[in-house]
Chain A
Amino acid sequence: MRRLTGILSVVAVLALGCRKEPLPLPAQISKIEAEPGSKIKGFYLVNEGNFNMNKASLDYLDIVNGIYTRNLYSQVNPSIIKGLGDVGNDIGIYGSKAFIIVNASNKVEVLNFKTGRKIGQVDIINCRYVKFDNGRAYVSAYLGKIGDPKAPNGIVAEIDTASLQITRSVEVGRQPEEMAILNRKIYVANSGGYSPSNYERTVSVIDIPTFKVIKNIDVAINLHHIKADKYGDLYVTSRGDYYSIPSKLFVIDTQTELVKKVFDVPVSNLAIDDDLAYIYSSQFSYVTGINTLNYSMIDVGKESLLTQKFISDGTEKNIKLPYGIAVNPFSKDVYVTDAKDYVTPGKLHCYDAFGKLKWSVTTGDIPAHLAFVY
């Protein structure tokens, strides 16, 4: 009988399936329309991956040859323990290096931008966004110190892009988000998102030579994105409080360092190219229980809302949750990512300059942040 039970359990495993030899997760390739004449080689796309799932991933689009590669990182860097990590939050390319901010993995991952191979890593707790100036990378992070209940403020850290060492660090507002750099000054949008009863409402101005906060510009509560146009203005998004105070877009004149204009449109994210700002928003109403999507454009020269749309063929109805946007500065193609429900692979859509859908491709989970490779 004992033999029978032994046989039974062996049979059970054989019939039901055993574990396989572990293997690195493979890359997958999709073909899209090639653009041999493109002035941009392609771009990297960071998929955030859901929190705790360790599913941040890196995709690459070769625009010239029309090849989309999903999950490039694991393929190129199989020896990195647990891969790219948890919640990819930003990517920037500087010189020959790509810097990927991996928020919940507390690291800035530095890759060779041509091959995607890992060169190094800079550990920064709860890091959020990256920008570059003069051979240095600047990274915003939610917390300066861990384990100090009296230190709610975030920081901006300065990294030497050659040695990959943190050179300086400065305390800014609470839960700082995106930064813009103009004239040797860093403008960082503070959110205060950890204390919803008391959101931050300023943009901190850091003077790079002294690396000190020289000013806090009062804007609105719960700031998030900040983008510079070519006229020296900053476009700053406020998330509002998700209840009674709606999301809005504010324009700061960097000459006066004051808000000079408010656009009463909700903004989740935007991309500015030349004279145009491309905007989308998703707003959840606690009254109706419905999420509303909206797409709009602004002429940043005239500082006026346009009636034209960057998706004109009605295909925006296929987008469940717009989550990332970038504009090709040469072809004026617009890339919009769809994060869908966060727990299924997303989509990347490409619209031409007239707002017609050119192609769509499946991405990783929560496609979000793009960086062009020239």
Chain B
Amino acid sequence: MQKKKQTSSKGFRLYVLTFSICCAIYLSPGHTLAQIPDTLIKANLLKELIINQVQLSRQNLSPTPIQILSGEDLKRINSLSVADAIRYFSGVQLKDYGGIGGLKTINVRSMGSNHTAVFYNGIQLANAQNGQVDLGKYSLESLEEISLVSGQHSEILQPAKAYASASAIFLKTKIPNFDENIRTSISATLKTGSFGLVNPSFSIQQKISKKLSATASSEYIRANGKYKFRYTNGVYDTIAVRNNGEVDRIRIEAALHGKLHNDGKWNAQVYSFWSDRGLPGAIVANKFDYTQHIWDRSIFAQGSLEQRLSKFTIMFNAKLSYEYTRYLDPEYVTIDGFLDNHFNEKEIFLSAATKFQAHKNLTIGLASDYSYQTLDANIYRFAYPNRSTFLNVFNAALQIERFQIQGNLLSTTLIDRVRQFGSAGDKQIFSPTIMFSYQPMKSSKIRLRGFYKDIFRMPTFNDLYYTFIGNAQLKPEFAKQYDLGLTFANTFKNMAITFVDLQVDAYYNTVKDKIVAQPGANLFRWSMYNLGRVEIRGLELNAKSGFALTNELTLGIGLNYTYQQAIDVTSSEEDNYRGQIPYVPKHSSSFLGKIDYKNWKLNYSFIYTGYRYNQKSNIIYNYMEPWYTHDVTLGYDLNAKKDVCQLSLEVNNLLDQYFDVIPNFPMPGRNYRLTLNYKL
């Protein structure tokens, strides 16, 4: 094996070095371990290379914008949860209440967080109660890839749910990929640092037979959540420590992956999550300390089966999930004691999809999903709603030389029932999407792409039925998206520059019948209405490149920039007519840079969010300062005989900038994290 390495061509090595960022350990473990380090590295580099090329082509061939963070790139950014990683995508605003346990939701292209669906291994993480997924709850430790797609994937074979949101995040866990003679691989990681963080995690992958393998992974997070924050208006200047931010979390998941004849495959997985945490409140005058507490328990089991049968390919997906949340407020004393709310949400999901190669240029697809969701809660006058949703989608894709066009029609049938009081009743909605991708010149890798998508989000159970607030009369909130973009990707041989990847997209979105909370009779009595209209014009730019300066020194850079004009066009009689909507900055940007030298890796990232307003009126009292953070990581790989040990030190928010994403919910200043990873 050593010899083989010596003889490998220079170009190959350049590739390898560039894409893999210096002797990293390929994330999907298995194959790396029982070999001697050098070979091991090479094998990993190869994987990285393939992944990068696949990723480049996926991003550039797609008629809809896809942003991907995977493998080594994902591992190297300074992130604990999915929420941290997502900040590096363009077109995204992360609503972050700060701290490890703080709620983190995502708003893509200013349409609102309820318009983004989150998928875990291809199946949606649904939340019928409030329609939002707390991305802070999902650890990066077990993930192989995070991708964000605007519109929808152009894949024909997928559940109908994948067509049913304005944008989607896909989380993919590591799938075992064993070499011939390896049966077991183990990875153990320990993270520690600021906020009193102790975060051990462990994963094992086992090859059971040629066609069957198993993975299991578990993680524990404990943190006191304490960090310093600062507020000043230039006259007063106060520094305090965040309280009630303690977090205790356990995640355990296990999966079986099987292969079938004719490229068929199946998997089955169980995911469980326990979380106990304090709920740090708003830092307002004279009140900095809080006592509220939240407990979350969630467990789901899901499975997928895919099989090709001559011209047909079929796919089945199923899921059962149960989520429990308890909220305790000792500052709210009722006649029965402290306010102590319990919520139980259950879901059944079944999906069948098929793809048919009608002609060598024409593929058609059908997908049909059924889901049933219920919510129980121990709150006054609760409606006990349940919802059956049938999604049916017909999809066709036509490829004529360098032109590809695809369209689908989604039918949504909703049946809401309640045990008491009024229900939203039944709804039937049709939503079309059309998209294309075109390569104008055969010789050039420039591609033109675009899509139009008409979609809606249903009012959530909270919108419709929550006691005092809910309004069962609500209509769905509709969004229309128009996107036109250019992509370019190329890899270079025998040059210092190894690849270039460019994506530019301009978009125009409208949201109508936006569901907003409006006051009722007093401050405690809000109600939901279909009131808002928003127009969004945006521009996204993503650029990535890699350089191999010498055999041992490689460099990678990535730049994202987003411009967004998201204006409120609800009523010309209002003062804020055509004003920028809350929390959306006109400009936001991120920069990632990485340098690898021998066993050393250095990462630098910069995130910029421009000024924005925290309420509707664009006035000084609602103005929020821009914020920008610099994060740096230094890593070192120790390659012993049979195993690999990695050590890295992160310094986040290096310049110690104090800022809020949500007003009065302070973000941490400079903080540190030390990661030790061991693989066998």
| Cα–Cα distance between A149 and B328 once the two chains are bound (Å) | 11
Asked whether any CB of chain A lies closer than 8 Å to the CB of B427, the reply is no
Residues of A within 8 A of B336 (CB): 195
Contact with A along B544-585 (1 / 0, CB 8 A): 000101000001010101000000000000111000001000
Contact with B along A257-284 (1 / 0, CB 8 A): 0000000000010000000000000111
Q: Given the interface contacts A25-B621, A291-B527, does A151 sit within 8 Å of B284 by beta carbon?
A: no
A340 to chain B minimum Cβ distance, whole angstroms, is: 8
- How many pairs of A and B residues are in contact by the CB < 8 Å rule? 214
- B589 and A54 within 8 A (CB): no
Residues of A within 8 A of B589 (CB): 12, 16
- A54 and B518 within 8 A (CB): no
Residues of B within 8 A of A83 (CB): 233, 285
| Cα–Cα distance between A282 and B380 once the two chains are bound (Å) | 23
Asked whether any CB of chain A lies closer than 8 Å to the CB of B441, the reply is no
A334 to chain B minimum Cβ distance, whole angstroms, is: 21
> Which chain B residues in 499-553 approach chain A with CB under 8 Å?
516, 518-527, 529, 547, 549
> Which chain B residues in 604-629 approach chain A with CB under 8 Å?
604, 606, 608, 610-611, 614-617, 619-621, 625-628
- B285 and A54 within 8 A (CB): yes
Asked whether any CB of chain A lies closer than 8 Å to the CB of B303, the reply is no
Residues of A within 8 A of B595 (CB): 2
- A51 and B593 within 8 A (CB): no
Residues of A within 8 A of B422 (CB): 286-287
Asked whether any CB of chain B lies closer than 8 Å to the CB of A331, the reply is no
Residues of B within 8 A of A54 (CB): 282-285, 663-664
Q: State which of A161-169, A180-188, A341-349 sits at the interface with chain B.
A: A341-349
Partner among A16, A20, A149 whose Cβ is within 8 Å of the Cβ of B608: A16
- A284 and B527 within 8 A (CB): yes
A276 to chain B minimum Cβ distance, whole angstroms, is: 23
- A341 and B518 within 8 A (CB): yes
Nearest opposing residue in chain B for A87, CB measure: B523
Q: State which of A61-69, A140-148, A226-234, A351-359 sits at the interface with chain B.
A: A140-148
- B575 and A344 within 8 A (CB): yes
Partner among A9, A105, A247, A286 whose Cβ is within 8 Å of the Cβ of B472: A286
Asked whether any CB of chain B lies closer than 8 Å to the CB of A112, the reply is no
B600 to chain A minimum Cβ distance, whole angstroms, is: 14
> Which chain B residues in 322-361 approach chain A with CB under 8 Å?
330-339
Nearest opposing residue in chain A for B568, CB measure: A344
- A85 and B284 within 8 A (CB): yes
- B520 and A242 within 8 A (CB): yes
Partner among B330, B519, B587 whose Cβ is within 8 Å of the Cβ of A17: B587
Asked whether any CB of chain B lies closer than 8 Å to the CB of A55, the reply is yes
Asked whether any CB of chain B lies closer than 8 Å to the CB of A288, the reply is yes
- A81 and B576 within 8 A (CB): no
| Cα–Cα distance between A25 and B589 once the two chains are bound (Å) | 28
Asked whether any CB of chain B lies closer than 8 Å to the CB of A245, the reply is no
Asked whether any CB of chain B lies closer than 8 Å to the CB of A91, the reply is no
Interface of A is mostly: loop
- B287 and A105 within 8 A (CB): yes
| Cα–Cα distance between A54 and B285 once the two chains are bound (Å) | 7
Asked whether any CB of chain A lies closer than 8 Å to the CB of B467, the reply is yes
Q: Given the interface contacts A54-B284, A104-B287, A174-B335, does A291 sit within 8 Å of B235 by beta carbon?
A: no
Asked whether any CB of chain B lies closer than 8 Å to the CB of A302, the reply is no
- A55 and B519 within 8 A (CB): no
- A149 and B520 within 8 A (CB): no
| Cα–Cα distance between A129 and B604 once the two chains are bound (Å) | 53
- B522 and A268 within 8 A (CB): yes
Partner among B232, B337, B547, B620 whose Cβ is within 8 Å of the Cβ of A26: B620
Residues of B within 8 A of A48 (CB): 523
Asked whether any CB of chain A lies closer than 8 Å to the CB of B473, the reply is yes
Residues of A within 8 A of B287 (CB): 85-86, 104-106
Q: Given the interface contacts A286-B472, A341-B519, A364-B621, does A82 sit within 8 Å of B547 by beta carbon?
A: no
Contact with B along A1-37 (1 / 0, CB 8 A): 1100100110011001111111111100000000000
A246 to chain B minimum Cβ distance, whole angstroms, is: 11
Asked whether any CB of chain A lies closer than 8 Å to the CB of B281, the reply is yes
Nearest opposing residue in chain B for A151, CB measure: B333
Asked whether any CB of chain A lies closer than 8 Å to the CB of B58, the reply is no
Partner among B608, B610, B614 whose Cβ is within 8 Å of the Cβ of A53: B614
- B235 and A51 within 8 A (CB): no
Number of interface residues of B (CB under 8 A): 81
Nearest opposing residue in chain B for A341, CB measure: B518
User: Which of A80, A321, A342, A344 is the most central at the interface, judged by chain B CB atoms within 10 Å of its CB?
Assistant: A344
Asked whether any CB of chain A lies closer than 8 Å to the CB of B430, the reply is no
Nearest opposing residue in chain B for A86, CB measure: B284
Residues of B within 8 A of A171 (CB): none
Residues of A within 8 A of B615 (CB): 50, 53, 343-344, 365
- A1 and B621 within 8 A (CB): no
- A8 and B559 within 8 A (CB): yes
Nearest opposing residue in chain B for A339, CB measure: B519
| Cα–Cα distance between A20 and B611 once the two chains are bound (Å) | 11
Contact with A along B64-101 (1 / 0, CB 8 A): 00000000000000000000000000000000000000
Asked whether any CB of chain B lies closer than 8 Å to the CB of A38, the reply is no
Asked whether any CB of chain A lies closer than 8 Å to the CB of B209, the reply is no
- A152 and B664 within 8 A (CB): no
Asked whether any CB of chain A lies closer than 8 Å to the CB of B591, the reply is yes
Q: Given the interface contacts A53-B664, A146-B330, does A268 sit within 8 Å of B626 by beta carbon?
A: no
- B555 and A345 within 8 A (CB): no
Residues of A within 8 A of B473 (CB): 288-289
Q: Given the interface contacts A195-B336, A242-B468, A345-B617, does A143 sit within 8 Å of B331 by beta carbon?
A: yes
| Cα–Cα distance between A1 and B617 once the two chains are bound (Å) | 43
| Cα–Cα distance between A84 and B285 once the two chains are bound (Å) | 7
Q: Given the interface contacts A5-B593, A345-B617, does A198 sit within 8 Å of B331 by beta carbon?
A: no
Asked whether any CB of chain B lies closer than 8 Å to the CB of A102, the reply is yes
- B617 and A344 within 8 A (CB): yes
Asked whether any CB of chain B lies closer than 8 Å to the CB of A255, the reply is no
A189 to chain B minimum Cβ distance, whole angstroms, is: 14
Nearest opposing residue in chain B for A288, CB measure: B473
| Cα–Cα distance between A18 and B608 once the two chains are bound (Å) | 10
Asked whether any CB of chain B lies closer than 8 Å to the CB of A367, the reply is no
Asked whether any CB of chain A lies closer than 8 Å to the CB of B238, the reply is yes
- A12 and B333 within 8 A (CB): no
Partner among A1, A104, A195 whose Cβ is within 8 Å of the Cβ of B334: A195
Asked whether any CB of chain B lies closer than 8 Å to the CB of A337, the reply is no
- B617 and A104 within 8 A (CB): no
- B628 and A13 within 8 A (CB): yes
Asked whether any CB of chain B lies closer than 8 Å to the CB of A107, the reply is yes
Residues of B within 8 A of A55 (CB): 621
B468 to chain A minimum Cβ distance, whole angstroms, is: 6
| Cα–Cα distance between A13 and B608 once the two chains are bound (Å) | 8
| Cα–Cα distance between A17 and B664 once the two chains are bound (Å) | 22
User: Which of A149, A195, A291, A343 is the most central at the interface, judged by chain B CB atoms within 10 Å of its CB?
Assistant: A343
Residues of A within 8 A of B220 (CB): none
Give residues in A with beta carbon < 8 Å to B. Answer: 1-2, 5, 8-9, 12-13, 16-26, 48, 50-55, 57, 71, 74, 78-87, 102, 104-107, 121, 123, 125-126, 143, 146-152, 174, 192-198, 224, 239, 242-243, 247, 268, 282-284, 286-289, 291, 321, 339, 341-345, 362, 364-366
Give 17 A-B contacts (CB < 8 Å), ordered by A residue: A5-B604, A9-B591, A19-B625, A19-B626, A22-B232, A52-B281, A53-B663, A195-B336, A196-B381, A196-B468, A286-B421, A288-B473, A339-B519, A341-B519, A343-B615, A344-B574, A345-B619
Instruction: Please give me the 10 A-B residue pairs with the lowest Cβ-Cβ distance, nearest first.
Output: A85-B285, A289-B473, A149-B337, A86-B284, A82-B285, A52-B282, A78-B235, A54-B284, A105-B286, A195-B334
Give residues in B with beta carbon < 8 Å to A. Answer: 231-236, 238, 281-287, 291, 330-339, 380-381, 421-422, 467-468, 471-474, 516, 518-527, 529, 547, 549, 555, 557, 559, 561, 574-576, 582, 587, 589, 591, 593, 595, 604, 606, 608, 610-611, 614-617, 619-621, 625-628, 657, 663-664
Given A194-B333, A343-B615, list of 8 further CB < 8 A pairs? A9-B591, A48-B523, A50-B615, A147-B330, A286-B421, A286-B472, A291-B518, A341-B516
